[in-house]
């Protein structure tokens, strides 16, 4: 149910959960001051309690009360705000409730690039928000997607279709380096250009992943996805499937769900969750995925999301 900006602010201030638009994906928001509402986010999503949430702010000065230390490189990284970048800081434990951090001593923060949500945060103060989807499912990039997961009566601030279509990149700044915790709307290459030192990317999940969300099932439609490395593999496996998730030039006899032009990643990511959700709307059981694209720049983000969606982990 679409609500006005004023109504969204009032609901949030009274301890309700409201879906909000960002440039990446829709978020399921609660006020940082409303712990009961924050708890409710976990139960609405079916989100594991040990997966912490991102705090959304409207300006850099709001960071002060949330963090206990601002690592070097921060100024360079923050030049990418507002935008699809989340930075993990040592938390000010007093001002960021345990439930937001899932018991960690760090807090993830970002300034989203969406005029409505920036206005909203100025009215309400910091908003805690994970992506507005049921845990494990493809993220929501439109009001329709939010309503698919949480019902027609769920309050949503309508900001149109999400412009990027994929979540923020999550990084952690260290003394003289930085780590990539989750691929996202800014590529590793772009971050290296702006921040400077090359990242120490976490490719394998260690026993205690630094970004707890990485260990859970993610972005998965109900249907089974079979990743195909080449056009030949698609042709070989056509008899196993009822559709293909690919690009405008993918050759197939099956119905094609197109992510737009091959290797035009901004377009491909914009179309990604919309198409993953379409596969379930059409009740397809098995779908082939055309993975024959460059894995550099935002192609790495596209590959990451498709691999996770297919692996169901």
Give the interface segment with ligand TXA, choosing from 36-44, 59-67, 123-131, 199-207 (CB under 6 A): 123-131
Closest C-alpha among 235, 222, 225 to residue 277: 222
Within 13 Å and on the Cβ side, how many CA atoms surround 55?
Answer: 33
Three-point CA angle 277, 279, 282, nearest 5°: 110
Pairing of strands 286-290, 243-246: parallel
Return the residue of 41, 67, 129, 157 that touches ligand TXA, per CB under 6 A.
129
- Residues belonging to the chain: 313
Q: Is 233 exposed, middle or buried (0-12, 13-18, 19+ CB in 10 A)?
A: middle
Minimum distance, C-beta of residue 269 to Mg ion, in the bound complex (Å): 15
Q: Does 165 bind ligand TXA (CB under 6 A)?
A: no
Per-residue binding letters, 266-305, with ligand TXA (x by CB under 6 A): ----------------------------------------
DSSP state of 247: -
- Name the residue nearer to ligand TXA (CB basis): 41 or 195: 41
Nearest to 88 by CA among 202, 212, 171: 171
* Among 182, 262, 274, 308, interactor with ligand TXA by CB under 6 A: 182
Is 213 a binding residue for ligand TXA by CB under 6 A? The answer is: yes
Contact positions vs Mg ion (CB under 5 A): 131
**Residue of closest CB approach to Mg ion:** 131
Q: How far is the CB of 131 from Mg ion (least distance, A)?
A: 3
What would the x/- binding string for ligand TXA be over residues 18 to 57, using CB under 6 A? ----x-xx-x-----------------------xxxx---
How many C-alpha atoms does 168 have within 13 Å on its Cβ side?
A: 29
Let me know if 195 is exposed, middle or buried by CB neighbors in 10 A (0-12, 13-18, 19+): buried
53: exposed, middle or buried (Cβ count in 10 Å: 0-12, 13-18, 19+): buried
* Helix (H) or strand (E) run with residue 18 in it: strand 18-20
State the binding partner of 124 from ligand TXA, Mg ion, none, CB within 5 to 8 A by kind: none
Nearer to ligand TXA, 273 or 293 (CB): 273
The nearer residue to ligand TXA, 134 or 214, going by C-beta atoms, is: 214
Is 117 a binding residue for ligand TXA by CB under 6 A? The answer is: no
Residue whose entry in the numeric block shows the structure tokens 């928000």: 129
Stretch that binds ligand TXA, among 69-77, 124-132, 145-153, 234-242 (CB under 6 A): 124-132
Positions in the binding site for ligand TXA (CB under 6 A) = 22, 24-25, 27, 51-54, 84, 86, 88, 101, 104, 106-108, 110, 112, 129-131, 167-168, 170, 181-182, 210-214
């Amino acid at each position: 149910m679409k609500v006005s900006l004023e109504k969204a602010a009032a609901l949030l201030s009274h301890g309700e959960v409201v879906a909000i638009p960002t440039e990446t994906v829709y978020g399921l928001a609660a006020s940082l001051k409303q712990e009961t509402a924050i708890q409710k986010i976990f139960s609405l999503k079916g989100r594991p309690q040990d997966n912490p949430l991102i705090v959304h702010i409207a300006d850099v000065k709001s960071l002060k009360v949330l963090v206990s230390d601002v690592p070097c490189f921060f100024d360079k990284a923050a030049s990418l705000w507002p935008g699809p970048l989340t930075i993990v800081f040592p938390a000010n434990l007093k001002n960021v409730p345990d439930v937001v951090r899932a018991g960690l001593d760090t807090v993830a923060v970002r300034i989203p690039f969406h005029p409505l949500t920036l206005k909203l945060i100025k009215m309400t103060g910091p908003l805690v928000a994970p992506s507005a989807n049921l845990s494990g499912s493809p993220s929501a990039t439109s009001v329709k997607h939010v309503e698919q997961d949480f019902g027609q009566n769920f309050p949503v601030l309508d900001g149109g279709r999400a412009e990027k279509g994929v979540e923020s990149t999550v990084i952690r700044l260290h003394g003289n380096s930085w780590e990539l915790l989750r691929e996202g709307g800014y590529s590793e290459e772009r971050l290296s250009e702006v921040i400077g030192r090359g990242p120490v990317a976490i490719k394998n999940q260690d026993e205690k992943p630094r970004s707890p969300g990485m260990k859970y099932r993610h972005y998965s439609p109900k249907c089974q996805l079979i990743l195909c490395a080449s056009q030949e593999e698609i042709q070989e496996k056509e008899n196993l499937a009822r559709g293909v998730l690919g690009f405008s030039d993918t050759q197939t006899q099956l119905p094609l769900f197109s992510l737009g032009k091959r290797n035009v990643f901004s377009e491909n990511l914009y179309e990604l969750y919309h198409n993953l959700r379409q596969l379930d709307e059409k009740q397809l059981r098995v779908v082939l995925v055309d993975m024959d694209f460059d894995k550099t720049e935002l192609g790495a983000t596209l590959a990451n999301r498709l691999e996770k969606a297919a692996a169901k982990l």
